[in-house]
C-alpha cells in the first residue's frame, strides 16, 4: 500500500504541460535532438529506452560520487548518456536551469519509441534530479538476466507494476542487442529446464563462443532488430527468446496468455506498452523542492 500511495502522490505532481510557460520549446528541442541522433545510429532507440528503464528503477546517477554507470548491470552495457547530455545542453541555451535531466530522459524514451515505429504517449513532466547516486540498488532493483518468472513479477511488483506491465515493458527487447555472456548458458545448455529452439541456438552460437567473446553482441530480435513491433512475442512463442528472462515469460507460467495475446495483436501490445511506460515514469520521482535541476546531467550542481 505504501508503494501505491507513493505512485499516486507522484501522479498528482507531474503534468504533461509542466513546461508550457517556463520552457515552451522544451519538447520540440528534445525531439529534434533525439531524432537526429537515432537517424545516425538506429540502435540508439533501444539504448534510450533502456536508460529510462534503469533511471526509473534506480535513482539518478552522478559520476561526481560513486556512480551507477559503472555498477555491474550498467557497466559496458548502458549507453546513450551523451545523447541526453547533448539534448540537455541545447535546453540550457534556451531556458537554463528549467528542464531536469530526468525529464529529458523520459521524453527521449518516448521519442525513441515513436521514431522506430513504436507507440507514442503523453509524457508527464516535472521530475527533478537526484543529488545522490545509488549503485548498490542496481544489483537489487534491476532484473537479473537469469531471474525466474516469480522473481521478475516480485521485482516489478515492488515498483507498483503489474505482471502485465512487466510483460509489456519486456517487449522493448524487440529492439537492441545483448552481450554474449548474458545468453551463453541458454544457447549451450541442453537441460530440460532450458527450452530453446535448436536452430535458433545454433545460429546464436556463431556469434557467441562457448568460451571467450563475452562482449560479442547479438540482436534481441533476429527478424526486425531495429524496428519496434511485436516480433519479440512471436519469437517467445517459437522458443526463440534470447535471454532466460525473455523466454521465461512464455514457459508454461502465468504470463503465457499475455505473451500469446501480444503475439497476435500488435495494437494491444503497443497500447499496453505506452500505458506501462507512463506508469513506470511515475515511480517515486523527485518533485517540488526535492533534489535539483542539474545544469549538466553527468554531475550534481556545485
pLDDT digits (tens, 9 = 90+) for 57-82: 754 444 444 444 433 443 444 578 99
Whole-number average pLDDT of the chain = 86
Q: Residue 268: its pLDDT value, please? A: 98
52 a catalytic residue: no
> Does 173 carry a binding-site annotation?
yes
Please identify which of the residues 50, 54, 59, 240 carries the catalytic annotation: 54
How far lies 261's CA from each of 8, 32, 164, 176, in Å? Answer: 29, 34, 11, 23
Quick one: pLDDT band at residue 298, thresholds 50, 70, 90?
A: confident
C-alpha cell at 89: 545542453
Q: What whole-number distance in Å separates Cα of residue 98 and Cα of residue 91?
A: 8
C-alpha cell at 242: 534470447
> Does 224 carry a binding-site annotation?
yes
- Asked if residues 83 and 37 have their Cβ atoms less than 8 Å apart, the reply is yes
Q: Residue 11: its pLDDT value, please? A: 45
pLDDT digits (tens, 9 = 90+) for 108-153: 999 999 999 999 999 999 999 988 765 444 445 677 889 999 999 9
Strand partners, 129: 292
Amino acid at each position: 500500500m505504501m508503494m501505491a500511495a507513493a505512485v499516486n502522490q507522484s501522479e498528482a505532481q507531474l503534468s504533461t504541460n509542466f513546461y508550457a510557460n517556463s520552457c515552451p520549446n522544451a519538447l520540440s528541442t528534445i525531439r529534434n535532438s533525439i531524432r537526429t541522433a537515432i537517424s545516425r545510429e538506429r540502435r540508439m532507440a533501444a539504448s534510450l529506452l533502456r536508460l529510462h528503464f534503469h533511471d526509473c528503477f534506480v535513482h539518478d546517477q552522478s559520476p561526481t560520487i560513486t556512480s551507477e554507470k559503472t555498477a555491474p548491470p550498467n557497466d559496458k552495457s548502458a549507453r546513450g548518456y551523451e545523447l541526453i547530455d547533448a539534448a540537455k545542453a541545447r535546453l540550457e541555451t534556451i531556458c537554463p536551469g528549467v528542464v531536469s535531466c530526468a525529464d529529458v530522459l523520459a521524453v527521449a524514451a518516448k521519442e525513441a519509441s515513436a521514431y522506430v515505429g513504436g507507440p507514442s504517449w503523453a509524457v508527464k513532466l516535472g521530475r527533478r534530479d537526484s543529488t545522490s547516486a545509488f549503485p548498490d540498488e542496481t544489483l537489487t532493483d534491476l532484473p537479473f538476466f537469469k531471474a525466474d518468472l516469480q522473481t521478475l513479477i516480485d521485482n516489478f511488483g515492488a515498483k507498483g507494476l503489474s505482471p502485465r506491465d512487466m510483460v509489456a515493458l519486456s517487449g522493448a527487447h524487440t529492439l537492441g542487442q545483448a552481450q554474449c555472456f548474458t545468453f551463453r548458458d541458454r544457447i549451450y545448455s541442453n537441460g530440460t529446464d532450458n527450452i530453446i529452439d535448436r536452430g535458433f541456438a545454433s545460429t546464436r552460437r556463431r556469434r557467441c563462443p562457448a568460451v571467450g567473446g563475452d562482449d560479442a553482441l547479438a540482436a534481441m530480435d533476429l527478424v526486425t532488430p531495429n524496428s519496434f513491433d511485436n516480433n519479440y512475442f512471436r519469437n517467445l512463442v517459437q522458443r526463440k527468446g534470447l535471454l532466460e528472462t525473455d523466454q521465461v515469460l512464455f514457459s508454461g507460467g502465468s504470463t503465457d496468455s499475455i505473451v500469446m495475446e501480444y503475439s497476435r495483436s500488435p495494437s494491444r501490445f503497443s497500447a499496453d506498452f505506452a500505458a506501462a511506460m507512463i506508469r513506470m515514469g511515475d515511480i517515486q520521482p523527485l518533485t517540488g523542492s526535492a533534489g535539483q535541476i542539474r545544469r549538466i546531467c553527468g554531475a550534481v550542481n556545485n
